[in-house]
Amino acid sequence: MWKDIAALKLSKNGHITLSAALVNLLEIDDAEKDGVVFGYEDKASYIGYSFDSEAYKCRFKQGESSFRFGSVEERDNIILTSLSHIDDLQFPITMVVDPEDFVIHKTVKLYRLNYHNPN
Protein backbone atom coordinates (compact mmCIF):
# COMPACT_ATOMS: atom_id res chain seq x y z
CA MET A 1 0.00 0.00 0.00
CA TRP A 2 1.25 3.49 -0.95
CA LYS A 3 1.30 4.93 2.58
CA ASP A 4 3.45 2.05 3.86
CA ILE A 5 6.21 2.47 1.24
CA ALA A 6 8.82 5.24 1.54
CA ALA A 7 8.20 6.83 -1.84
CA LEU A 8 7.28 9.97 -3.72
CA LYS A 9 5.12 10.52 -6.77
CA LEU A 10 5.84 13.01 -9.51
CA SER A 11 2.83 14.24 -11.45
CA LYS A 12 2.81 15.72 -14.92
CA ASN A 13 1.89 19.19 -13.60
CA GLY A 14 4.81 19.27 -11.14
CA HIS A 15 3.06 18.17 -7.96
CA ILE A 16 5.30 16.06 -5.76
CA THR A 17 3.65 13.88 -3.11
CA LEU A 18 5.55 12.12 -0.33
CA SER A 19 4.03 8.99 1.19
CA ALA A 20 3.39 8.76 4.92
CA ALA A 21 6.28 6.27 5.23
CA LEU A 22 8.68 8.74 3.57
CA VAL A 23 7.38 11.59 5.76
CA ASN A 24 8.15 9.41 8.79
CA LEU A 25 11.59 8.42 7.48
CA LEU A 26 12.48 12.07 6.93
CA GLU A 27 11.04 12.92 10.38
CA ILE A 28 8.77 15.67 9.07
CA ASP A 29 6.48 16.75 11.91
CA ASP A 30 5.61 20.39 11.35
CA ALA A 31 4.52 21.55 7.88
CA GLU A 32 5.43 25.16 8.70
CA LYS A 33 8.99 24.49 9.96
CA ASP A 34 10.00 21.24 8.29
CA GLY A 35 10.73 20.79 4.61
CA VAL A 36 12.70 18.84 2.06
CA VAL A 37 15.69 19.47 -0.17
CA PHE A 38 16.88 17.62 -3.23
CA GLY A 39 20.36 16.72 -4.35
CA TYR A 40 21.69 15.46 -7.66
CA GLU A 41 24.89 13.62 -8.46
CA ASP A 42 26.06 11.45 -11.34
CA LYS A 43 22.70 10.05 -12.55
CA ALA A 44 21.25 9.87 -9.04
CA SER A 45 18.61 12.00 -7.31
CA TYR A 46 18.28 12.38 -3.55
CA ILE A 47 15.80 13.77 -1.03
CA GLY A 48 16.43 14.86 2.54
CA TYR A 49 14.91 16.67 5.51
CA SER A 50 15.73 20.33 6.07
CA PHE A 51 14.44 23.16 8.22
CA ASP A 52 16.30 25.71 6.07
CA SER A 53 14.29 28.63 4.71
CA GLU A 54 15.13 27.47 1.16
CA ALA A 55 13.64 24.00 1.74
CA TYR A 56 10.37 23.03 0.09
CA LYS A 57 7.64 23.40 2.66
CA CYS A 58 4.73 21.11 2.15
CA ARG A 59 1.05 20.85 2.86
CA PHE A 60 -0.63 17.96 4.56
CA LYS A 61 -3.86 17.04 2.81
CA GLN A 62 -6.67 16.86 5.36
CA GLY A 63 -7.43 13.29 6.32
CA GLU A 64 -4.16 12.00 4.87
CA SER A 65 -0.61 11.79 6.12
CA SER A 66 1.04 12.39 2.74
CA PHE A 67 2.98 15.60 2.23
CA ARG A 68 2.68 17.53 -1.04
CA PHE A 69 4.09 20.55 -2.82
CA GLY A 70 4.66 21.72 -6.37
CA SER A 71 7.92 22.12 -8.25
CA VAL A 72 8.19 21.67 -12.00
CA GLU A 73 11.93 22.41 -11.65
CA GLU A 74 12.56 19.54 -9.22
CA ARG A 75 10.33 17.20 -11.26
CA ASP A 76 12.42 17.98 -14.33
CA ASN A 77 15.71 17.65 -12.42
CA ILE A 78 14.74 14.20 -11.14
CA ILE A 79 13.71 13.07 -14.62
CA LEU A 80 16.86 14.43 -16.29
CA THR A 81 19.19 13.09 -13.61
CA SER A 82 17.72 9.69 -12.76
CA LEU A 83 15.32 8.75 -15.55
CA SER A 84 16.79 10.04 -18.82
CA HIS A 85 17.58 6.46 -19.91
CA ILE A 86 13.89 5.42 -19.77
CA ASP A 87 12.06 5.98 -23.05
CA ASP A 88 8.43 5.38 -22.13
CA LEU A 89 7.95 7.29 -18.88
CA GLN A 90 4.32 7.71 -17.91
CA PHE A 91 2.94 9.93 -15.17
CA PRO A 92 2.55 9.64 -12.30
CA ILE A 93 6.13 8.50 -11.74
CA THR A 94 6.90 6.71 -8.48
CA MET A 95 10.34 6.92 -6.89
CA VAL A 96 11.03 4.69 -3.87
CA VAL A 97 13.54 5.16 -1.07
CA ASP A 98 15.61 2.45 0.59
CA PRO A 99 16.26 3.62 4.19
CA GLU A 100 19.77 2.10 3.99
CA ASP A 101 20.74 3.91 0.74
CA PHE A 102 21.78 7.44 1.69
CA VAL A 103 24.66 9.91 1.64
CA ILE A 104 25.54 12.70 4.06
CA HIS A 105 26.15 16.09 2.46
CA LYS A 106 26.83 19.13 4.64
CA THR A 107 25.13 17.49 7.64
CA VAL A 108 22.02 16.60 5.60
CA LYS A 109 21.08 12.93 5.22
CA LEU A 110 19.98 12.48 1.62
CA TYR A 111 18.18 9.32 0.54
CA ARG A 112 18.59 8.06 -3.04
CA LEU A 113 15.41 8.07 -5.14
CA ASN A 114 14.97 4.86 -7.15
CA TYR A 115 12.55 4.49 -10.04
CA HIS A 116 9.69 2.07 -9.45
CA ASN A 117 8.59 0.52 -12.72
CA PRO A 118 4.81 -0.07 -12.51
CA ASN A 119 4.96 -2.97 -15.00
What is the residue extent of each domain of the chain? 2-116
Mean pLDDT of all residues in the chain? 88
Contact by Cβ (8 Å): 19, 5: yes
What SS3 state is found at 72? Answer: helix
Tell me how far apart the alpha carbons of residues 99 and 51 are, in angstroms, rounded to a whole number. Answer: 20
pLDDT at position 56 is 83
Q: What is the pTM of this model?
A: 0.90
- For 45-92, write each residue's pLDDT tens digit: 999 999 888 888 876 665 555 677 888 999 999 999 999 988 888 999
Q: Please, which residues bridge with residue 15 across strands?
A: 70
